[in-house]
Amino acid sequence: MAILELRGVTKRFGGLPAVDDLDLDVAPGRVVALIGPNGAGKSTLLQLINGLIAPTTAGAIRFEGRDLLGRSPHEVRRMGVATVMQRPRVFTSMSTLEDVAVGARFGGGERLREGPATEVAAEVLERLGLGARRDVSVAELTLHEQRVLELARALAGRPRLLLLDEVMAGLNPTELTAFVELVRSVRDDAGLTIVWVEHVMRAITALADDVVVLALGRRLAAGSPDEVMRDPRVIEAYLGRGAQRC
């Protein structure tokens, strides 16, 4: 049974479809990469799932059989769906430990008090290699560290589905390799399901089990990373009609 089901999901902005009659099933424990040219509707889709964008124009989104439509972001989070955004959104008045503790205190299904939440946060930071920076202001962290921090905050609430929105953007090759390994270990340790919007193909081929290609809000192709990369429709969508003849 799919942990996440999308049926006929459609979202229009002023009549223009950002996501158009999309069906998608994500099996538990899989890493599903959503790729496609700019404007394909990838990030819109993630924001429909996590509640940041108001309910879809049509269709249904179900997580573990429960409807997500019309739920606010905090409700979706407490149901077990965590998100890491493209631009790190950190709590600048807090220390690294406090920032992650917010995820532990509010993100899980249970109401944790300050002490246990801080313990969970410290444990997650250690696991992700950011333990030594726990008392540093988040404003002092590097971009890579802020991404790890956001991942830690997401994991502190013990999610079952993780939505990643272009989290590899802006990282240098070393940081990219490290982040891919981090996401892989997180997936293996926690048995997480991941839906991942990404442009960095090197990261996708290293980590994704399945790739879904979107174009103009519709599903263009789906399959393993190798299959999708060789698909002529995908090459055309990314590089234009003449690309295959070159």
Partner 1 sequence: MSGPLGLGPGGVVAPPASSLRAYLPIVVASVVLALVPLSLGGSRYFLSLGVHLLVVASYAVAFNLVFGSTSQLFLCQGALAGAAAYCSVILGNRYGLPLWLTIPAGVGLAALLGGGLSWVAVSRRLEVIYLGIVTLAFSLVFTNLLLGGRELTGGETGLVVDGGAGTWLRSPAAAYYLFLALLVGHLVVYRAIERSRLGWGFRALRDDEVAAALAGVDVARAKVTAGVVGAAMLGSVGATFAAHEGFVSPTTFAFGEVDVRVLVVLALGGVGTLLGPVVGAVVVTVVDELLRPLGQLRLTVYGVVLVVIFLGFRQGMVRSVRSLWMRAGTRAGPRTD
Binding residues for partner 1, rule: CB under 8 A, are 50-52, 72-74, 77-78, 82-83, 85, 89-95, 97-98, 101-103, 105-108, 111, 113-114, 118, 135-140, 153, 157
In the complex, minimum distance from the CB of residue 64 to partner 1, in angstroms, rounded to a whole number: 17
CB of 159 to partner 1, least distance (A): 10
Q: How far is the CB of 164 from partner 1 (least distance, A)?
A: 12
Instruction: For partner 1, give the closer residue by CB, 142 or 172.
Output: 142
DSSP state string for 167-232: TTTT--HHHHHHHHHHHHHHHHHHT-EEEEE---HHHHHHH-SEEEEEETTEEEEEE-HHHHHH-H
No. of helices (H) and no. of strands (E), the chain: 9, 10
- Our CB check for partner 1 shows the closer of 160 and 228 to be 160
Q: How far is CA 87 from CA 9, 71, 150, 165, in A?
A: 25, 23, 10, 9
Q: How far is the CB of 115 from partner 1 (least distance, A)?
A: 10
Q: How far is the CB of 114 from partner 1 (least distance, A)?
A: 8
Q: Which is nearer to partner 1, 42 or 105 (CB)?
A: 105
Is 119 strand, coil or helix?
helix
Strands (E) across the chain are located at 4-13, 16-26, 31-35, 58-63, 66-67, 81-84, 161-165, 193-197, 210-215, 218-223
Nearer to partner 1, 139 or 239 (CB): 139
